[in-house]
Structure 1
Amino acid sequence: MKLLSATELRSNVTTALRAGLLAGFAALLAGCRTFSPDGGMSPVVGFIGQALNKDVVAVRSPEDDLWARGAVESLLKRPLTADAAVQVALLSNRGLQADYNELGISEAVMIANSRPPVPTFSISNVSTPLELDIERQIVVAILGLITQPARTKIAADRFTQAQLKAAWATLRVAAEARRAYYRAVAARETVSALTRFKEAAEATAKLAKQLGETGALNELDQARQQVFYADLTAQVATAQRQAMVEREQLVRVMGLWGYDLNFTLPAALPRLPGKPRTLSRVEQEAMDRRVDLQIALFEVEALAKSFGLTRKTRFINVLDASGISKTQKDKGDGPSVDGGGFSIEFQVPIFDFGRPRVRQAEQRYMQAVNLLAEKAVNARSEAREAYRSYRATYDIAAHFQREVLPLRQIIFDQSKLQANAMLIDVFALLTEARERIAANVNSIDAKRNFWLAYTELGASVLGGGNASPEFGGMVAADAGAAQEN
């Protein structure tokens, strides 16, 4: 066998490396990702359409803006409903559009990471052979190719997580718009109620003044009528200021300005539902549908992949892993532990960690699993808490409608009859009038609280409440970590 010289050996190795590098680049180019037509919005659109039955759009062209503007203007021509307010916010809120821009940035990062390293060429006046310089450049390119699959998977996970984040942001804006709507309408209804009482008190005060001039009503009763009217005037002014504040908060979350500010709110809140919702499967729905839990799940998976932990062996219930899973059966308005019924589950993959040198990665991964379990437990608790608040506010608001207001009206009517018959004095009649006004205002507040609790219950099941999930807090998705194993 003929022995090769050092120069021939370097030449053959260089040729082989070139061929391998070209083949690797060809394979990677074949697997390169391309930009999606909608910038990754399809999952967000599908999820929001299913969960809220609303349209969402990332405004990235004049055509998108024209369509969104047309839809908003059409909705604002009619008296605004809660669903219409949510839809307007999803189309006009610029902060939400900024979240969709973040999704586009994440897709660009994913596309960049799916492509092979860009070859570099340099010419330098050195005394070493040119082949040696080429060999050094090939080694650098090979290192980039080695880490390419891991970096691609991590970037893809990050893009999926960004889609979930965009969905969570959409749910958050929808919940904010619904809360602001109910507060604004309740404030307007309060102003209307107090204004009606003020008009009646004004007429009574004028009559008392006329009776006082004729001597039929003493000065003390005249003063009581006048102060009653003055108090109501102050209450109306306060309610009007609060209504203005609530309306502006609704304007901000809907992202309106200019001529769009002339939208009309209804005179009163919607009626209570005929029957309240039951607790059945509220907890399981939260496990299955909450976006923040799905985001945390992708955090765990991306963390595992970033350390090269890519072989899934089995699935576990994250609540079982933390020793806190229980089988529960729904009875009436609350769950009871009795060994039967339905099981609450939230599964995550367990990875094979392999060699002892990845012990740190194993502990970090299990730390993430435990944090995810904590989120799952909190989600279940929040769902139960939101339901109990929803049910309590429903019962209170219904009690005002069925019992308190009718009885207050009867008492006031009978008091007027007795006052006309001179059986009670003006002071007693005014006391009853004040209590009737307070009952009406409290009834409006109770109805508003119910619809706010209704909104919170939806947020506890789907996500998008006040608490923001932690995005990107666990994973250091770099090539070095991915290359470690």
Structure 2
Amino acid sequence: EWQKDTGARDQIQEAIRALLRRTLSADAAVQIALLNNRELQATFEEIGIAQADLIEAGLLKNPIFAGDARFPNRSPSGTDIEMSIAQEFFDLLVAPLRKKVAATQLMKTKLRVGDAILKLATEVKTAFYELQAEQQLLGRLKAINQTDATAVELAQRQHEAGNINDLDLANQQATYSQSKLDIAETAASIRADREKLNRLMGTWGDDTAWKIDNELPELPGGDFPQRRLESLAINQRLDLAATKVELGALVGSLGITKTYRYVGSVEFGVDTEKETDGQRMTGPTWQLELPIFNRGQGRIAKLQAQLRQAERRLESEAVGIRAEVHEARDRLIAKRDLTTYYRDELLPGRKKILELTLTHYNAMLKSPYDLLLAKQNELSAERGYIDALRDYWIARADLERAVGGRFSGASVETSSSFKETKNN
């Protein structure tokens, strides 16, 4: 939301603090960022600048008032006084066209701002899922560390009894030390990820004490719409729409320049002069620029080059968007398949191995080390599942960005914040 005055900012800050008091979801974090990110608020002011340009384009140039006073060097002559007022005629002629071009620029600016909103939303979601995955991973690493600590205690007792050698004990101690190092590194990553999310949400001071769920959301039951993603992206991508608007503005500017290439500065006005004998002479004045040397050749050539440039840029963006959608879609499919494999195949298999190993251990058919190894393998599989699930949600956010909206059932919705921006 574009915050234009202090009263609106105060109300928004209250709403933000109400959100921060709850456990944040990814959507809530995005909402806070859209309300509180200072860089986005600075981007919103581009709309205000474009609106001011539109107002300026609709205003006519002020008339020019000129005056002369000539004083005689001897009597009996009087003072010669001349005054005139003139108005630029060409400015009157092109004012509606100039206003139309400015309105087009305003729409282009709104589209660019809308694209910035979607980009920020993707960045926030990515940072949120990375933090959530690190927190979930920390819980698993602590469980692994407890298992490794148990293994070290057992190894020390067996080493004292002479059942294992120094090398076996050193290996168990090294594994335990590595698990402690993994916990420390993950804790550091959590702190860094929180600061990244604070920066994106614009929170500082007491507002940084927010909490999020320690578990990533599970895979959604319904799949995303895989058909017509390209056409959706071409129709909905705001950066592409802004380039189309820019292209249309250049076409209009080129047409205006060609139409009025032979019309330069044209002024009409009234002049009045009081002669030294007291007689006053009044009449019309005009002034026009003769298109002898400069007939707008340079302006036309420049606009034609800019038009060709915009056409090539539009084609390049369209091709790039299609490739971006393909890449994001394929990555999301791959991450979903990988996460599903972890969830449905690898994790159940590791849990079954742990259960069977425990049964054999109780029957004195397996050693304690076999049981600990089975537990470590299960926790390692859970770690891989967390990484895969995190990558899935990040890939989903990337695909939403590539398409230009968020998935809702079989359709894609554009950001509500952008809809509000277009109406401002």
- Coarse TM-score class (shorter-chain normalised): 0.7 to 0.9
In structure 2, do the counterparts of structure 1 residues 415 and 370 end up closer, same or farther at CA, with 3 Å as the change threshold?
A: same
Give the number of the structure whose alpha-carbon radius of gyration is greater.
Answer: 2
- Say how many residue pairs are matched: 360
In structure 2, do the counterparts of structure 1 residues 260 and 402 end up closer, same or farther at CA, with 3 Å as the change threshold?
A: same
In structure 2, do the counterparts of structure 1 residues 172 and 121 end up closer, same or farther at CA, with 3 Å as the change threshold?
A: same
8 Å CA contact 1:92, 1:256 repeated in 2: yes
8 Å CA contact 1:405, 1:440 repeated in 2: yes
Runs of at least 4 residues off by over 6 Å: none
Note if 1:453 corresponds to 2:395.
Answer: yes
Matching of residues 262-277 of structure 1 within 5 Å: 262-277=209-224
Please report how far the alpha carbon of residue 118 of structure 1 lies from its aligned counterpart in structure 2 after TM superposition.
1.9
> Aligned with 1:122: secondary structure?
strand
In structure 2, do the counterparts of structure 1 residues 360 and 84 end up closer, same or farther at CA, with 3 Å as the change threshold?
A: closer
Work out the CA distance in 1 between the residues paired with 2:364 and 2:172. 16
Which deviations, in whole Å up to 9, do the C-alpha atoms of 1:373-429 show, x marking residues without a partner? 232222222222211211111111111011111111222343455456665556655
> Which structure 1 segments of 5+ residues have no match?
1-56, 312-354, 465-485
Please report how far the alpha carbon of residue 203 of structure 1 lies from its aligned counterpart in structure 2 after TM superposition.
3.2
- Which shows bigger deviation, 273-282 or 65-74? 273-282
Aligned match of 1:444 in 365, 374, 386? 386
Residue in 2 that maps onto 1:236: 183
> Which structure 2 segments of 5+ residues have no match?
72-79, 259-296, 407-424
> Aligned with 1:278: secondary structure?
coil
- Which shows bigger deviation, 409-418 or 249-258? 409-418
In structure 2, do the counterparts of structure 1 residues 383 and 218 end up closer, same or farther at CA, with 3 Å as the change threshold?
A: same
The one-letter amino acid of 2:319's match is: V
Please report how far the alpha carbon of residue 236 of structure 1 lies from its aligned counterpart in structure 2 after TM superposition.
0.9
Residue in 2 that maps onto 1:301: 248
Residue in 1 that maps onto 2:121: 174
> Aligned with 2:212: secondary structure?
coil
Matching of residues 180-329 of structure 1 within 5 Å: 180-213=127-160, 219-308=166-255
In structure 2, do the counterparts of structure 1 residues 359 and 225 end up closer, same or farther at CA, with 3 Å as the change threshold?
A: closer
Work out the CA distance in 2 between the residues paired with 1:406 and 1:157. 58
Please report how far the alpha carbon of residue 217 of structure 1 lies from its aligned counterpart in structure 2 after TM superposition.
5.9
8 Å CA contact 1:396, 1:446 repeated in 2: yes
Matching of residues 336-375 of structure 1 within 5 Å: 361=303, 364-375=306-317
CA-atom RMSD in angstroms: 2.9
> Aligned with 2:211: secondary structure?
coil
Work out the CA distance in 2 between the residues paired with 1:254 and 1:452. 18
Work out the CA distance in 1 between the residues paired with 2:257 and 2:220. 50
The one-letter amino acid of 1:272's match is: L
Calculate the TM-score normalised by the size of structure 2: 0.77
Work out the CA distance in 1 between the residues paired with 2:182 and 2:146. 13
- Which shows bigger deviation, 365-374 or 193-202? 365-374
8 Å CA contact 1:185, 1:267 repeated in 2: yes
8 Å CA contact 2:141, 2:182 repeated in 1: yes
8 Å CA contact 1:390, 1:454 repeated in 2: yes
The one-letter amino acid of 2:345's match is: E
8 Å CA contact 2:147, 2:376 repeated in 1: no
8 Å CA contact 1:197, 1:232 repeated in 2: yes
Please report how far the alpha carbon of residue 150 of structure 1 lies from its aligned counterpart in structure 2 after TM superposition.
2.7
Q: Percent identity?
A: 31
Note if 1:83 corresponds to 2:27.
Answer: yes
Which deviations, in whole Å up to 9, do the C-alpha atoms of 1:58-78 show, x marking residues without a partner? 112122111211111111111
Which deviations, in whole Å up to 9, do the C-alpha atoms of 1:270-299 show, x marking residues without a partner? 010113213112111111111011100110
Calculate the TM-score normalised by the size of structure 1: 0.68
